[in-house]
Amino acid sequence: MNGSEQTVLEKLHKSGITATDIATQFWCEKQMELNYLYKPAPTKAMEKGARMHEAWQAKVYVPLTVETRTYSDVLFKIAYENYTTLQKLKSEKVGRELMIYGSMNGYRFSGKIDELRLKDNKVFIVEDKTVSKFMNSGEPHTRHHIVQIMLYRKMFGDIKDKLYSYENFSKVYKLKGSVLSDEFVKGLRSIGLKDEYLSLESMYKMMFSEMQAIPELSDDLEIRYTDRRNSETVADITVRYDVAAITKDLAYAMQYWRGERDAAPVIESEKWKCKPCKFFGNQCKVWWIGG
Alpha carbon of 145 to those of 50, 106, 222: distances in Å? 17, 24, 10
Tell whether 66 is covered by a domain: yes
Band (pLDDT 50/70/90 cuts) for residue 139 is confident
In a domain, 1, yes or no: no
When divided into structural domains, the chain yields a total of 1
For residue 280, pLDDT beyond 80: yes
Query: What totals of helices (H) and strands (E) does the chain contain, helices first?
Result: 9, 7
> Which pLDDT score, from 0 to 100, does residue 230 have?
86
The residue range of the domain holding 200 is 18-27+43-264
Would residue 289 count as lying in a domain?
Answer: no
Are 142 and 239 spatial neighbours (Cβ–Cβ below 8 Å)? no
Residue 58 has pLDDT above 70, yes or no: no
> Would you say residue 48 has pLDDT above 90?
no
pLDDT band for position 53 (cuts 50, 70, 90): low
Higher pLDDT, 47 or 259: 259
Band (57; pLDDT cuts 50, 70, 90): low
* CB contact at 8 A, 114 and 96: yes
| pLDDT tens-place string over residues 102-137 | 998 899 999 999 999 999 999 999 999 988 766 666
Is 221 part of any domain? yes
Whether 233 is in a domain gets the answer yes
Q: How high does pLDDT run on average in the chain?
A: 91
- The reply to whether 269 falls in a domain is no
Q: How far apart are CA 35 and CA 38, in angstroms?
A: 6
Phi, psi (rounded to 5 degrees) for 269: -70, -10
pLDDT at 79: 97
Integer Cα distance of 97 and 162 in angstroms? 21
